[in-house]
Amino acid sequence: MPQKRCVYIPEGSNPLQEKFINYIMKQGKKNVARKIFKDTLEIIGKNDKAPEKLFEAAIDNIKPAVEVRAKRIGGAVYQIPVEVKPERQLMLAFRWILGAARSKRNAPMAKKLASELMLAMNNEGAAIKKKEDTIKMAQANKAFAHYAKY
């Protein structure tokens, strides 16, 4: 397995926040992504005392434990529920929260992202709905779990 690279982390940030900034980034514009994230934390900070803790709690609420994977067995395609590895949990959580924020209209990205994170903290919002839909699909296809070994 390849080793993980050592990455520069600016003062006042942590690896989770840096990873999230990389997901926000479009077309290599990291400074724009950093500004969006900083503004998001400021907006959350107006309502909450510890925006970093709220950010981490929201991400933890969105992380899925199971998902379904399509697997072809004997000419039929089955949706097989599988556990999600921690790296993929993080990736899916980031993707879902950014997708939910970007789908909203008529507001700056920082404001949309802050509102989605606050909703996720309370187990509400589009990203949480996406997680619940994924879990429901896994529950519905529990009968095919024995195919996971193939």
Q: Which domains does the chain have, with CATH numbers?
A: 15-149 (1.10.455.10)
Residue 8: enclosing H or E segment and its boundaries? none
Q: Percent of the chain having pLDDT more than 90?
A: 81
- Using CA atoms, how far residue 62 sits from 41, 109, 124, 141, in Å, is 18, 19, 10, 21
Amino acid at residue number 38? K
Asked if 116 contacts 101 with a C-beta cutoff of 8 angstroms, the reply is: yes
Mean pLDDT on 93-117? 95
Phi, psi (deg, nearest 5) at residue 116: -70, -40
80 falls in which pLDDT band (50, 70, 90)? very high
Average pLDDT estimate for 25-35: 95
Per-residue pLDDT tens for 41-61?
999 999 888 999 999 999 999
* pTM to 2 decimal places: 0.88
Structure tokens at 109: 């990205």
